[in-house]
């Protein structure tokens, strides 16, 4: 292979976002539907033959992948303009949310292919509804962000208690319940969002009653339970640690709007604090971010809440605060990169503890390239704040790390170039347009990918 060969990995271009530092965010940003809700709502549509319409769906790459997963299962999937919510106005007609019409056949397919599942971990959530509908499902082991191990043990153990026979071969999970699923009492070792969702979707068509203890309590769980109940399911306890489900013979298709994205909203809240800005976020119940917003108040910020909006203003350098990630309603692990970014520019030292994913600190080296003083030890990171960071080329390692690095670049001297921002595209619709609307000097482009010199 010669030096001019187009297949030379050193010559492959990657998407980058470049931001100029010493920025201050000011203005209003609208948050659309939550990625972590919309993906699961699309999977829930599999439970009822016919046409379900999901609105307020973010226009991101993960949604497109899930759409293709459903198409390969035999569903008709059509994306269209969002209605009646219209968040397109803010950026000159650029569509950031849309609706998705899912036409589910009487007998959907039963296999989710590896080439798609490896790109989207959330596609494992088709396991529960397909097993409930078909009595057989073959799903590839999922991929997704490189933020640590996220096994399927609780999914499998719960389905087994409901009568499924689980096996695995060649990278696939195979679940069979030829006589149908039955209700069961299930206690989760950890309040896993994915396991809770899969088990709820399986239980709504199972015979008899199912109880799930230590269930996840996230707003996205409440959202999927709300949609399922509107489809005819019988679920009680959504938003608490105990769910009671009574199985029904069949469900019907519905129209449902996805709940606002609390992680995107939290990203803008921390960005306002880090840049000593003044940002109003609309489209989300502020109660979903209570712990995170309290941290910003402790850091010296002014937080005002009203209806489906909140405002964050930081006039002086933030004070250092400690953060511990926990299942909802605790501090969200997806906001940990933003918490480290805030700590990196705060006055004093912060102890950041990650209790959910063992690989969440993988991006710390990239943050240190911007001059952040970070020492990690297992699940802990000690961050000593600096007045300013220093612009540098860095690489996004996952969705939230990418957003966190871009925001940190706004607090740095000079230019910061964040590469591999396709990760950011998976969670943030039109991130650059939002930054521009908030007064940031930012551009998107491409750059040659640096060769991996690791041996």
What contacts 93, CB < 8 A, 6 or more positions away? none
Backbone angles phi, psi at 438, to 5 degrees: -95, 10
Asked if 224 and 197 touch (Cβ cutoff 8 Å), the reply is yes
Closest to 383 in 3D by CA, of 359, 409, 363, 410: 363
Beta bridge partners of 203: none
Q: How far apart are CA 69 and CA 123, in angstroms?
A: 7
Q: Which two tokens stand for residue 237?
A: 């306890």
Q: Is 452 annotated as catalytic?
A: no
The active-site residue, picked from 62, 82, 145, 434, is 145
Backbone conformation region of residue 297, classed left if phi is above 0, alpha if psi is from -120 to 50, else beta:
alpha
Beta strands in 127-232 (DSSP E): 136-140, 165-169, 172-176, 185-187, 209-213
Is 35 annotated to bind a ligand? Reply is yes
Is 124 annotated to bind a ligand? Reply is no
Q: In Å, what is the CA distance from 420 to each residue of 363, 365, 455?
A: 13, 15, 21
| Residue 56 CA to its chain's centroid (Å) | 15
Is 356 annotated to bind a ligand? Reply is yes
Neighbouring CB atoms inside 10 A of 136's CB total: 16
Closest to 201 in 3D by CA, of 14, 57, 42, 364: 42
Q: Before 329, cis peptide (omega within 30)?
A: yes
Backbone angles phi, psi at 347, to 5 degrees: -90, 105
End-to-end Cα distance, the chain: 20
Backbone conformation region of residue 261, classed left if phi is above 0, alpha if psi is from -120 to 50, else beta:
beta
**8-state DSSP, 22:** S
Mapped onto helix, strand or coil, the DSSP state of residue 347 is strand
Q: How far apart are CA 347 and CA 349, in angstroms?
A: 7
* Angle CA 401–440–301, to nearest 5: 70
Which residues carry a binding-site annotation for phosphoenolpyruvate?
35-36
Question: Which of the residues are catalytic?
Answer: 145
Which residues carry a binding-site annotation for UDP-N-acetyl-alpha-D-glucosamine?
121, 334, 356
Which residues carry a binding-site annotation?
35-36, 121, 334, 356
């Amino acid at each position: 292979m010669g030096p001019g060969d187009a297949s030379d990995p050193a010559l492959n271009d990657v998407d980058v976002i470049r931001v100029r530092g010493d920025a201050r965010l000011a203005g209003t940003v609208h948050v659309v539907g939550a990625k972590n809700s919309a993906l699961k709502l699309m999977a829930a549509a599999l439970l009822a033959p016919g046409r379900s319409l999901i609105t307020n769906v973010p226009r991101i790459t993960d949604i497109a992948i899930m759409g293709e997963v459903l198409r390969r299962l035999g569903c008709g999937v059509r994306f269209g303009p969002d209605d009646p919510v219209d968040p397109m106005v803010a950026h000159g007609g650029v569509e950031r949310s849309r609706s998705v019409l899912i036409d589910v056949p009487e007998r959907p397919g039963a296999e989710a292919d590896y080439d798609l599942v490896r790109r989207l971990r959330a596609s494992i959530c088709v396991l529960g509804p397909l097993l409930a509908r078909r009595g057989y499902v073959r799903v590839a082991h999922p991929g997704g962000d490189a933020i640590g191990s996220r096994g399927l043990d609780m999914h499998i153990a719960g389905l087994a208690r409901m009568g499924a026979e689980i096996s695995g071969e060649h990278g696939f999970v195979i679940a069979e319940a030829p006589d149908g699923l039955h209700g069961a009492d299930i206690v989760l070792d950890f309040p896993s969002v994915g396991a809770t969702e899969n088990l709820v979707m399986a239980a709504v068509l199972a015979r008899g009653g199912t109880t799930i203890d230590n269930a996840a309590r996230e707003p996205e769980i409440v959202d999927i339970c709300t949609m399922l109940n509107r489809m005819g399911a019988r679920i009680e306890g959504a938003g608490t640690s105990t769910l009671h489900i009574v199985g029904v013979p069949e469900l019907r298709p519905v129209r449902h709007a996805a709940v606002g994205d609390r992680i995107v909203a939290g990203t803008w809240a921390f960005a306002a604090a880090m840049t000593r800005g003044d940002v109003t976020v609309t489209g989300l119940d502020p109660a979903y971010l209570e712990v995170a917003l309290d941290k910003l108040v402790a850091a010296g910020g002014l937080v005002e809440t009203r209806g489906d909006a909140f405002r964050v203003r930081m006039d002086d350098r933030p004070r250092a605060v400690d953060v511990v990630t926990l299942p909802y309603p605790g501090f969200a692990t997806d906001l940990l990169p933003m918490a480290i970014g805030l700590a990196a520019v705060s006055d004093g030292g912060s102890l950041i503890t990650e209790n959910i994913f063992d690989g969440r600190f993988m991006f710390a080296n990239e943050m240190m390239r911007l001059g952040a003083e970070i020492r990690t030890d297992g699940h802990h990171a000690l961050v000593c704040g600096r007045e300013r960071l220093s612009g540098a080329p860095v690489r996004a390692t996952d969705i939230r790390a990418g957003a966190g690095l871009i925001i940190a670049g706004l607090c740095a001297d000079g230019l910061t170039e964040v590469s591999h921002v396709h990760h950011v595209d998976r969670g943030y619709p039109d991130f650059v347009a939002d930054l521009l609307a908030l007064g940031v000097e930012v551009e998107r482009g491409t750059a040659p990918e640096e060769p991996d010199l690791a041996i």
